Amino acid sequence: MANEIAVDFITNQTSVYACVFNTSKQVATVATGVFGTWNPANIDDYDVALAENGGGGMFWGDFPSTIAAGDYIVMVYQGSKADGDTELGSADVRWNGTAETTFASGNPEIK
């Protein structure tokens, strides 16, 4: 699968990224899928880059395939990848290990 993470934002922005958290409020290291305590010095290890599609203000990115099946919170930010970056929104994601699956009430969009 691809482009499971999407957010509508202002056109022509840079540094739009997402981080994946588990229900224990730990953040995922993208390369390994291992969750741990947030450390601002390691944001580059946590971020999923989101790219704008054609300048229309929609930013897309892939949910990390390294993360095991489970329920997660995806937080989307814009900024310099530092504490205090602007939070653009969040959504719950049910991940089956290779693709997003649907919650009983449908998949919420990031707002």
Q: What does the pLDDT look like over 1-11, one tens digit per residue?
A: 588 888 888 88
Q: Is residue 109 part of a domain?
A: no
35 part of a folded domain? yes
Distance in angstroms (rounded) separating the CA atoms of residues 20 and 73: 6
Give the phi and the psi of residue 7 in degrees, each rounded to 5.
Answer: -145, 140
Instruction: Give the pLDDT of residue 109.
Output: 54
The pLDDT confidence band at residue 110, using thresholds 50, 70 and 90, is low
Q: Domain for residue 69, yes or no?
A: yes
Does some domain include residue 20?
yes
**What integer is the mean pLDDT of 79-99?**
91
Q: What is the pLDDT of residue 111?
A: 46
As for how many domains the chain has, the answer is: 1
Whole-number average pLDDT of the chain? 88
- Flag whether 108 is in a domain: no
In this structure, the dihedral spanned by the alpha carbons of residues 26, 2, 16 and 52, taken in order and rounded to 10 degrees, is -170
Task: Look at 105 and 100; give whichever has higher pLDDT.
Answer: 100
SS3 74: strand
- Reported as a single tens digit per residue, the pLDDT across 51-64 is 998 778 899 999 99
Residue 11 lies in a domain: yes
pLDDT of residue 1: 58
Model confidence at 101, pLDDT cuts 50, 70, 90, reads: confident
Q: Are 5 and 73 in contact (CB under 8 A)?
A: no
Residue 33: CATH number of its domain: 2.60.40
Assigned token pair, 101: 């699956």
Cα-based torsion angle of the residue sequence 85, 87, 92, 98 in order, rounded to the nearest 10 degrees: -50
Question: Would you say residue 39 lies in a domain?
Answer: yes
| Total-model pTM | 0.88
What is the extent of the structural domain holding 82?
Answer: 5-99
d(CA 87, CA 71) in angstroms, rounded, equals: 20
Asked if the structure places residue 110 within a domain, the reply is: no
Q: What is the radius of gyration, based on Cα positions, of the chain?
A: 13
16 and 53 in contact (C-beta within 8 Å)? no
